[in-house]
Amino acid sequence: MKRQGGVIAVEAALGLPLLILMVLAWLEFCVLTYAMSATDHALATAVNAAKRQGSLSSTTVADYEYALLQALIENGVTWWMSSEELAAMTADVLYFDSMADYASCSAGGADLLSCAKARTTGLSAPVAVYLVDYSYKPMFNIYLPELRVHREVAAIQEYERCKFKYWDGC
């Protein structure tokens, strides 16, 4: 029987690149999952802080959008994003007079930014929708495309809730 030499080398040459590719894809998936969950946590914390801006007796509106961006930066969204990705991150706040207006604008998956009932000022608008949009660029961008990540959180503005008459202090 003739001895076969080099079989291990051929198997390693064919299998090792596939194994490395699978490990890198798994690593990319882990980083993507962590980045999305870190963004979700930072957004929830930022909305919780931003919706408490202002006061009951004030006739001016707090700058909820600025408060959202500051809270996102403070809550650690910057450490895993590159400066290029951070510059491309956008945050918007849209205001609605009622939950019915918000429901009609979001019906059918329509873009909230183009809705006629959405406002950009929050005076006497108790429903706010916080939007965060950024592009995730994979570490190994040879095989994976750039991914657009869009998150939105609807909240009742803490000091605009008198519009709903849910609180006796109004």
Residue 64's SS3 state is helix
**Count of structural domains within the chain:** 1
| Neighbour tally for 55: CB within 10 Å | 10
Regarding pTM above 0.85, the answer is no
Looking up tokens 């999305």, which residue turns up?
36
| 169 within domain boundaries | no
| 130 within domain boundaries | yes
| 140 within domain boundaries | yes
| 134 within domain boundaries | yes
| 117 within domain boundaries | yes
| 60 within domain boundaries | yes
In the chain, the DSSP E strands lie at: 90-96, 127-136, 147-156
| 86 within domain boundaries | yes
Do residues 151 and 43 make contact, with C-beta atoms less than 8 angstroms apart? Answer: yes
CA distance 17 to 22: 9
Looking up tokens 């919706």, which residue turns up?
51
Do residues 12 and 89 make contact, with C-beta atoms less than 8 angstroms apart? Answer: no
| Per-position pLDDT tens, the chain of length 170 | 677 777 788 888 889 999 998 898 898 888 888 888 888 888 888 887 777 766 555 555 566 777 777 777 676 666 556 666 666 778 888 888 888 888 888 887 778 888 888 887 767 777 888 888 888 778 776 767 888 888 888 887 766 555 555 555 55
| 170 within domain boundaries | no
Domain, as residue range, for 70: 7-164
